[in-house]
Amino acid sequence: MGVLADEAKKRSPFLIVADGDSVIGIYRGFRFVPNSYDPTKPDNAQFEIEVDGVSKFLRTSSAKILLFFDNVKEGEEVKISRTIVNEKSRWSVDCVPSSASEDLEADPEMEKEFNKAERGEK
């Protein structure tokens, strides 16, 4: 992104994701807000996502997104992606595996000692 686009991202309270890009953030909760495009339609859900230490909002009425976040706990990492199809934004969301459990390799010697201890061997 250019200088002005970077500044727009900083200034906006909303999550800005370029076409084909993704962001990873921490889910901080949601609330319902009036539909700003059509007040006669149901309220939108406004999700709070912390990205690089800054809270940003994702506002949507998409059933797919609402169903996804219904199963996400506050504090969990999520990946939010955006693609444009027929001039409309299409958002996708996924859980990010906990960094505590990903890509950890056990020390072979420690694993042998652990297995011995579990079997009651010395």
Phi and psi angles of residue 98, each rounded to the nearest 5 degrees, phi first: -60, 130
Confidence grade of residue 103 (pLDDT, cut at 50, 70, 90): very low
Residue 104 above 60 pLDDT?
no
pLDDT beyond 80 at 63: yes
Could you tell me the fold of the domain covering 3-97?
OB fold (Dihydrolipoamide Acetyltransferase, E2P) (2.40.50)
What is this structure's pTM? 0.75
- Cα 75 to Cα 27: distance, rounded to the nearest angstrom: 5
Higher pLDDT: 113 or 61? It is: 61
* Spatial separation of the C-alpha atoms in residues 105 and 65, rounded to whole Å: 34
DSSP notation for 27-48? EEEEEEE--SS-TTSPPEEEEE
Return d(Cα 33, Cα 45) in angstroms, integer. Answer: 6
> For 8, phi and psi rounded to 5 degrees?
-60, -40
Please report the pLDDT score of residue 120 as a whole number: 64
